[in-house]
Every structure is written in C-alpha cells, then in structure tokens.
Amino acid sequence: MSKRREGRETAIQLLFSRDFTPPGAEHEVDGFFEIHSAGPKIRQHAVELYHGVVANLEAIDHRLVGCLENFSLERLAGVDRNILRLAIYEMFHRTDVPPVVVINEAIEISKRFGTPDSGRFVNGVLDRLKQDLTRDLRDVQPPQPRPQGP
C-alpha cells in the first residue's frame, strides 16, 4: 500500500474518531496517535488532510448534502461520510492530486472500511460531484510552497 493511501486511511480514521468527540470539546489529535501507530510521513500527511477537511467542513458538507437523495448527512454511515468528506476536500480544495485518483482512492478505501455497498455509494456521490469541478479530471498542479516559520 502506498504511503499516500496510508495517510488517507489514517486521516479517515482520525475524522471518524472526531465524530465521537462531544460538541464543544476539542478533538485530541495527539491522543489519537497514542493508540494509532503511524510513521512520521504518514502521520504528517494524515494530519494535514484532517486539518484541511475540518477547516473546510462547512463547504464540504454543503456539497455533500447537495448530492444526497433521500438521505441526511447524519444518516450516512460514519465511515462513508468521512471518506466522502476527505475525497471532496481533495477534489475541490487541493490541486496536487488528480480528481480521478481521489475518486479511485475513495472507492478502494470504502471497499476496505465500509459495507459491501459502500464502494458503489461513494462512486455514485463522487461521480455526481465531479461534474462541478472546474479543472480536468486528470489535472494536477504542484502544491504551493508553504512559508517556513521563524
């Protein structure tokens, strides 16, 4: 399994664990990694994805709810909801991974962690959402350099 896939899977597990954090309480990311072993690069990738999803959660959930037919966000299986959140984040808020790769990764992860129907469900939702993309499905742009701290 690739390091990027491991990072995605870890980010999804981190997002899933966040679902059990009481409202108003801070989700303890470091506490998660006390029980989840991940190498430094995988952890860094997972935490970056996690923070990206959380920072854009309102916009992500708005897109997601717009695709759900006869479902509310709360009725989605937690695993599927968080796989979709991560995929939507990567499709619409990042340019360093082509959308076709994001969709394929989400489907494969949903087959591993979800129900027997999760792969089809995730594929259907992301297939609807890809029509809203303003970039080519195979387009990738390198990430912008991040400013270094003092």
Could you give the CA distance from residue 110 to residue 25 in angstroms, rounded to a whole number? 28
For residue 68, what pLDDT is reported? 85
For residue 83, what pLDDT is reported? 98
| pTM exceeds 0.85 | yes
For residue 42, what pLDDT is reported? 92
Structure confidence by residue, pLDDT tens digits, 115-137: 999 999 999 999 999 999 887 78
Which sign, positive or negative, has the C-alpha torsion 36, 83, 111, 136? negative
Q: Cα torsion at 104, 110, 115, 116 (round to 10°)?
A: 20
Q: How confident is the prediction along the chain (150 residues), in pLDDT tens digits per residue? A: 688 999 999 999 999 999 888 777 777 888 888 888 888 899 999 999 999 999 999 999 999 999 887 778 888 999 999 999 999 999 999 989 999 999 999 999 999 999 999 999 999 999 999 999 887 788 777 655 555 545
> 3-132 belongs to which homologous superfamily?
NusB-like (1.10.940.10)
- Distance from chain centroid for Cα 70: 22
CA atoms within 13 A on the CB side of 55: 10
